[in-house]
Amino acid sequence: MTQTAERMSLIVFSGTVDKLLAASILATGASAMGLEVEVFLTTWGMMAFRKGDYLKNTRISKDFEEYGPAMMEAMQAKKAPSWMDNLVGAKEIGDMKIYACSMTMELFGIQLSDLEPIVDDVTGVAAFVERAKEGRITLFI
Amino acid sequence: MTQTAERMSLIVFSGTVDKLLAASILATGASAMGLEVEVFLTTWGMMAFRKGDYLKNTRISKDFEEYGPAMMEAMQAKKAPSWMDNLVGAKEIGDMKIYACSMTMELFGIQLSDLEPIVDDVTGVAAFVERAKEGRITLFI
Amino acid sequence: MTQTAERMSLIVFSGTVDKLLAASILATGASAMGLEVEVFLTTWGMMAFRKGDYLKNTRISKDFEEYGPAMMEAMQAKKAPSWMDNLVGAKEIGDMKIYACSMTMELFGIQLSDLEPIVDDVTGVAAFVERAKEGRITLFI
């Protein structure tokens, strides 16, 4: 029988700024509520955590691309924290772990040392699912 | 310890007609099954609920854009209800609440009065997560 | 009261190779962990299961389209299994069922016999939700 944990698990598949922002805000909100947060970076989501990439990433979902500049401007004007700022904050206030998908790393020839230091470790999908299924919320973003 | 509720929570991030239709059909199916439904509108999903927007929204996921016209024609030919029709129906048959994300509203300078009246209220992500984690299903759409 | 099942349910809405691959790897990982897996094919996800379509599908999320050729090459170079190979494998090692959404089939005029034989049956969204809500993880992909 599966035990139950006060945990939210996020599979971050996308690497667009708008989706990364949504993921980071969910991580922050869940951390503030006392939930453990586990983030699993895969495919394009992992690409967005390559060292230095977040500083130049201005990619917005193509479905809403025309709103991108207005969104970026609004964030600057309101001094809204970036998705990376949010993740740093979620780590500070709560219990959040960020894992890179071992299969994506192998496919794209990426090492843990190629990723931002906020990424804690590498894990496989089966191990991630094993822990996610104990949790309260699991999302594919 | 978290209590358990017969609830489905939908984070509606996207504002394309194909995804809104999927969200609305899930909301209808869950309502028919007696689940409470909570919808959390964020980012482009909230944009799609600005007053009058649904009447002119023909946006289809760019990944499948070439199927858009055939989909719209099939919906008209079969008199399939629109996503807004489905949501109105889900409210009638069940217990569905639609919330706008306070952070998105602030970022884009939108008020509750700018949104369709089907939107019940404004809420923050932490409050939404707090209720979603009690539920059975939470999806990011 | 809802009973609890060791089940993961995947709503496969998208039909791009990168998302189908992610879905198939999650299905494989969950099957390896002893979870039942239920896949619900809807909209563009169902289109990707039309007979023979997987042999010619090279569609990658437009948001990351420029990485598509490198991804395809890496998969060939490393002899990585395709998403269809993964699903066939998940069926062999575990308990996975794939259902096509009855509403999508009706809308697009598609019959079960038009779909790859890996698709087990047709079901409605309410029946799918009814079973998903008993499970541990439900994802919208």
**Span B92-125, pLDDT tens digits:** 999 999 999 999 999 999 999 999 999 999 999 9
| Residue numbers in B near C44 (CB within 8 A) | 18, 61, 63-64, 67
- B63 at the C interface (CB within 8 A)? yes
Q: Measured on CA atoms in the order A37, A41, A45, A46, is the torsion positive or negative?
A: positive
**pLDDT for the residue numbered A3:** 79
**pLDDT for the residue numbered B1:** 56
- C123 at the B interface (CB within 8 A)? no
Average pLDDT over residues B57-84: 95
Q: Do C62 and A62 touch (CB under 8 A)?
A: yes
Cα(C125)–Cα(C26) distance, integer angstroms:
21
Cα(B126)–Cα(B131) distance, integer angstroms:
9
Disruptive mutation site among B63, B78, B93, B134 for chain C (greatest number of C CBs within 10 Å): B63
CA distance A118 to chain B (A): 22
- Look at residues A50, A49, A42, A47 and name the one whose alpha carbon lies nearest to residue A103: A42
Q: Which residues contact B103 (CB under 8 A, 6 or more apart)?
A: A25, B42, B124, B125
- A137 at the C interface (CB within 8 A)? no
Q: Is the pLDDT of residue B8 over 90?
A: yes
Q: Do A14 and C139 touch (CB under 8 A)?
A: no
Q: Is the pLDDT of residue A1 over 60?
A: no
| Residue numbers in B near A22 (CB within 8 A) | 11, 13, 42-43, 140
Disruptive mutation site among A1, A7, A43 for chain C (greatest number of C CBs within 10 Å): A43
Digitized pLDDT (tens) for each residue of chain C, 141 residues in all:
577 899 999 999 999 999 999 999 999 999 999 999 999 999 999 999 999 999 999 999 999 999 999 999 999 999 999 999 999 999 999 999 999 999 999 999 999 999 999 999 999 999 999 999 999 999 999
Write the DSSP string, A70-115: HHHHHHHHTTPPPHHHHHHHHHHHS-EEEEEEHHHHHHHT--GGGB
**pLDDT for the residue numbered A102:** 98
Q: Tokens for A71?
A: 């969104």
Residue of C nearest to A137 (CA): C137
| Residue numbers in C near B140 (CB within 8 A) | 140
- Look at residues A124, A37, A13, A138 and name the one whose alpha carbon lies nearest to residue A86: A37
Option in A18, A64, A137 nearest B138 (CB): A137
**pLDDT for the residue numbered B4:** 87
Work out the end-to-end distance of chain B between its first and last CA atoms, rounded to an integer number of angstroms.
28
- Cβ neighbours, 10 Å, residue A113: 8
Residue B63 confidence class, pLDDT cut points 50, 70, 90? very high
CA distance C126 to chain B (A): 4
**pLDDT for the residue numbered B120:** 98
